[in-house]
């Protein structure tokens, strides 16, 4: 199979779909890889590193899309990229379609086979291709939140961990999954006062056992969220409903009650965000202020630590990329129900129910689309 890797074009996005080591593995399996020139420059891999791994270098994205049977990316295709996709071509990347009707229409119109990293599952009920980036985003959320609390960033001028004789900041994390757990770990490491709110008692029990009395765990209700959010210095939204739009758990009224200079970091912004006042931002202009509260809502947070993120992502995606290339997408999806869960769009039809429901579009079960 001929596999293409275009350069990412989202603002300040330096990650790349394949690192040279992954290219070498695909070539070892008998496949051809076409990489757009300078696709890996942002993380320290020049074209010669890809050539040494066995790839060919394309002059531009148009050549990559025109020649490839499967395109491997990191972020969702931008409008110009959607127009370059063609019927029967495989797209393997993050999609986050539920809050994005424009991209969804572009993929439907293209006739491509779009497989989303974020809805591929595993035998433990997890999301193995979302997990690495959730881990990065969770850790980053505390780092950027601490910076946003500084006065020059619009914050209240609070040091996250306090100092002797001065109280530490109150950090509230909504969602105790991979992102929330990593956020809690970082915030506690910086000696903040940390509360995690989640609706799963089992998960809260696991977090209590893992972190002990240093972590405050609270069962999620509207009342509990309001009580803790309005008194927080930093709130991190880490809620995930796989493939679906994130629920708006923090209302505008709650934001109005927060102290000016408090900070909201919305990790769920890729899925529309879990704060009612959220809107997607970029690394070039990452924050905005609503009712005196600083909002950090960058839709590709892990792109800020692009080298770490790319290696972490490749470790997770490579086995699935090999399966798609070695077997062809139909056989690979037929034999692996977890990879099959990644299929969001197939030849003009939506095959992931949460996306169809969120956008009020017709839904076609995967088994019907693949004639299984």
List beta partners, residue 173: 196, 236
- C-alpha distances out from residue 247 to 89, 113, 225, 253, 358, Å: 33, 28, 13, 16, 11
> CB count, 10 Å around CB of 216?
18
Task: Strand 193-198: give its sheet, edge to edge.
Answer: 215-219, 193-198, 170-174, 234-237, 263-266, 293-296, 287-290
**Gap between the Cα atoms of 267 and 168, Å rounded:** 23
What are the tokens at 53? Answer: 């791994």
**Gap between the Cα atoms of 66 and 117, Å rounded:** 22
Report the SS3 class of residue 295.
strand
The DSSP element (H or E) to which 135 belongs, if any, is: helix 131-148
The DSSP element (H or E) to which 216 belongs, if any, is: strand 215-219
> 155, 263 in Cβ contact below 8 A?
yes
Q: How far is CA 91 from the centre of its chain?
A: 17
Determine whether 285 is an active site residue: no
Q: From the candidates 228, 233, 270, 295, give the one annotated as an active-site residue.
A: 270
Determine whether 96 is an active site residue: yes
- C-alpha distances out from residue 218 to 78, 187, 211, 223, Å: 39, 17, 14, 11
What single-letter DSSP state applies at residue 132? H
What are the tokens at 86? Answer: 């063609």
Residues recognised as catalytic: 96, 270
């Amino acid at each position: 199979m001929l596999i293409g890797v275009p350069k990412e074009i989202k603002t300040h996005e330096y990650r790349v779909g394949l690192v040279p080591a992954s290219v070498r593995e695909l070539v070892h399996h008998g496949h051809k890889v076409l990489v757009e020139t300078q696709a890996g420059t942002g993380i320290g891999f020049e074209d010669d590193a890809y050539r040494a791994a066995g790839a060919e270098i394309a002059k531009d994205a148009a050549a990559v899309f025109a020649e490839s049977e499967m395109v491997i990316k990191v972020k969702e295709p931008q409008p110009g990229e959607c127009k370059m996709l063609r019927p029967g071509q495989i797209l393997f990347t993050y999609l986050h379609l539920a809050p994005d009707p424009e991209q969804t229409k572009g993929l439907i119109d293209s006739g491509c086979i779009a497989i989303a990293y974020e809805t591929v599952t595993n035998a433990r009920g997890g999301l193995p291709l979302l997990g690495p980036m959730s881990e990065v985003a969770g850790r980053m959320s505390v780092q950027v939140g601490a910076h946003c609390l500084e006065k020059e960033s619009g914050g209240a001028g609070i040091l996250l961990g306090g100092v002797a004789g001065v109280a530490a900041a109150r950090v509230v994390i909504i969602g105790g999954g991979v992102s929330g757990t990593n956020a809690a770990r970082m915030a506690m490491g910086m000696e903040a006062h940390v509360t995690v709110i989640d609706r799963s008692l089992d998960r809260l029990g696991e977090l209590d056992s893992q972190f002990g009395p240093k972590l405050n765990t609270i069962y999620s209700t509207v009342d509990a969220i309001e009580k803790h959010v309005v008194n927080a210095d930093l709130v991190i939204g880490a809620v995930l409903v796989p493939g679906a739009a994130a629920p708006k758990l923090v209302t505008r009224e709650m934001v109005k009650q927060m102290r000016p200079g408090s900070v909201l970091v919305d990790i769920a912004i890729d899925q529309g965000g879990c704060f009612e006042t959220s809107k997607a931002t970029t690394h070039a202009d990452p924050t905005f202020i609503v009712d005196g509260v600083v909002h950090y809502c960058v839709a590709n947070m892990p792109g800020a630590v692009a080298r770490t993120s790319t290696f972490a992502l490749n470790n997770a995606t490579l086995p699935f990329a090999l399966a798609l290339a070695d077997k062809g997408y139909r056989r690979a999806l037929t034999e692996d129900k977890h990879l099959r869960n990644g299929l969001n769009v197939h030849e003009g039809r939506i095959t992931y129910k949460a996306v169809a429901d969120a956008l009020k579009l017709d839904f076609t079960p995967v088994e019907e689309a693949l004639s299984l």
